[in-house]
Amino acid sequence: MNMWKKNRRQIVAGIIAVILVLAMVVPMVLEVML
């Protein structure tokens, strides 16, 4: 159970990291495209 909780926390952290990266990259891409 502890391993599952740890993995779940890592997955959540990974998702948050991806969202933060997208939030930074998307505006830059939009600026280049526009």
Instruction: Give the whole-angstrom CA distance, residue 33 versus residue 16.
Output: 26
What is the per-residue pLDDT for 14?
96
Counting the structural domains of the chain, the total is 1
Series of mean pLDDT values for 10-residue runs along the chain (34 residues) = 79 97 95 91
Rg (CA), the chain: 15
pLDDT at 7: 87
How much is the pLDDT for 20? 98
pLDDT score of 1: 60
